[in-house]
Amino acid sequence: MIYSRYGSWKNHCVGNQATWLLPWFCHLLGPVVGGWYRVLDRLLPRTTKADALKKMLLDQGCFAPCFLGCFLPLVGALNGLSAQDNWAKLRRVSRAGGRWLWPAVQLANFYLVPLHYRLAVVQCVAVLWNSYLSWKAHRL
């Protein structure tokens, strides 16, 4: 459909496609992350320090790499980045300090925050973190 409408991918306006896909992706993101938290709570139902540590390790070791490995290349592709540029961006993001921030946030989240508030806590921290990343990426 896109090919027949625009003639080729070179003439395709990625911005229009991103604007159309963004609400759908946002409606997918919340349920995926919220569902992951429910799965973790079923696997480890207690809120002890040891269980919070196990949840954080599972989250950071299993879910985060898969999620970032899907999310960042998709956003990069919608922004017109090549595969090499996407890979470079993934490396920059991984070196930006998130590997220290998110385990601490998730450990506190799994230990102190009830299940139905966890997604909201993570999204509040994510707004601050993404603002920092955006500032860092665009500073001159």
Please report the sign of the dihedral spanned by the C-alpha atoms of residue 128, residue 98, residue 85, residue 70.
Answer: negative
State pLDDT tens for residues 64-112.
888 877 777 777 787 788 888 888 877 776 666 778 899 999 999 999 9
Domain range summary for the chain, segments of one domain joined by +? 12-81, 82-139
Q: Report which of 41, 1, 39 is spatially closest to residue 17, judged by C-alpha positions.
A: 1
Q: Does the predicted model carry a pTM greater than 0.75?
A: no
- Kindly state the average pLDDT of the residues 16-33: 69
Question: 13: pLDDT confidence band, cut at 50, 70 and 90?
Answer: low
User: CA-to-CA distance for 20 and 11, rounded, in angstroms?
Assistant: 17
